[in-house]
């Protein structure tokens, strides 16, 4: 945990390759952006995989963005999204996509179901939660509001797909859907997991698990959701 704190508090943590000046000057999508004229098509890979999938989502971002305006909002989102991405890279997590104020990501080694590969997802998610106070401190130093967010993860079978407008692949499947649904059950700055992921890691001794709620799947079925903390 001390190494994590040193990483987040280092001078380079909040330095990004895209400059503030560059961000401030981007007021519109260039007319030459060829993606405007590309038909959107998807292609699924035939082989499925099992991965730990995660999501980190800002709390009350629409309200905050409306209060601080578009230019300052751009910096607000930049600090959050880039900070989460930097933490992910330390644990070999890969961003699938960002949707507005949230990131979807996965851990490619988690298909092995080995303890180390599954704990990477848990440890990364917990570090994200611990980073909240440092990110808020950075935002405050720039005259921006504090930030709160929720982190969720689940485990299961996914299908990979590619689109005609991106070289990167996307992902769909039950764990992706459940990540999004259970995220809203988390309290501010809390990490939660779905029942399938819990079954994979419930014997791990380094964490505390507490069932916090059930998510209704319909037809009298429910899906348990657990909060996760360090011991």
| Phi then psi dihedrals of residue 144, to 5 deg | -110, 155
Domains of the chain listed by start with CATH number: 41-230 (3.30.70.1230)
pTM above 0.85, yes or no: no
* Cβ neighbours of residue 92 closer than 8 Å, sequence gap 6 or more: 107, 108, 109, 120
What mean pLDDT is reported for the chain? 84
Assign residue 105 a region: left if phi > 0, alpha if psi is -120 to 50, beta otherwise? beta
- pLDDT, one tens digit per residue, over 190-223 is 999 999 999 999 999 899 999 987 766 655 578 8
Per residue in 167-178, pLDDT (tens digit) is 677 888 899 999
162 burial via Cβ count (<10 Å: 0-12, 13-18, 19+): middle
pLDDT digits (tens, 9 = 90+) for 2-42: 666 667 777 677 776 554 444 444 445 455 555 555 677 77
3-state secondary structure at position 211: strand
Identify the sign of the CA torsion 37, 172, 104, 179.
positive
pLDDT of 82:
93
CB count, 10 Å around CB of 21? Answer: 7
Name the DSSP letter for residue 182: H
């Amino acid at each position: 945990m001390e190494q994590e704190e040193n990483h987040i508090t280092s001078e380079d943590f909040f330095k990004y390759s895209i400059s503030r000046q560059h961000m401030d000057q981007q007021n519109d999508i260039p007319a030459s952006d060829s993606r405007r004229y590309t038909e959107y098509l998807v292609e699924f890979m035939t082989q499925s995989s099992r991965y730990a999938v995660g999501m980190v989502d800002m709390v009350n971002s629409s309200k905050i963005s409306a209060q601080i305006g578009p230019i300052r909002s751009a910096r607000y989102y930049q600090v959050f999204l880039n900070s989460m991405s930097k933490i992910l890279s330390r644990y070999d997590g890969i961003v699938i996509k960002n949707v507005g104020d949230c990131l979807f990501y996965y851990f490619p080694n988690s298909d092995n179901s080995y303890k180390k590969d599954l704990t990477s997802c848990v440890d990364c998610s917990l570090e994200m939660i611990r980073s909240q106070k440092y990110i808020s401190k950075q935002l405050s130093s720039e005259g921006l509001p504090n930030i709160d967010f929720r982190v969720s993860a689940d485990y299961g079978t996914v299908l990979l797909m590619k689109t005609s407008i991106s070289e990167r692949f996307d992902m769909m499947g039950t764990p992706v859907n459940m990540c999004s649904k259970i995220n809203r059950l988390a309290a501010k700055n809390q990490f939660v997991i779905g029942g399938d992921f819990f079954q994979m890691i419930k014997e791990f001794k380094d964490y505390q698990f507490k069932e916090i709620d059930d998510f209704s799947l319909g037809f009298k079925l429910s899906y348990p959701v657990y909060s996760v903390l360090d011991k």
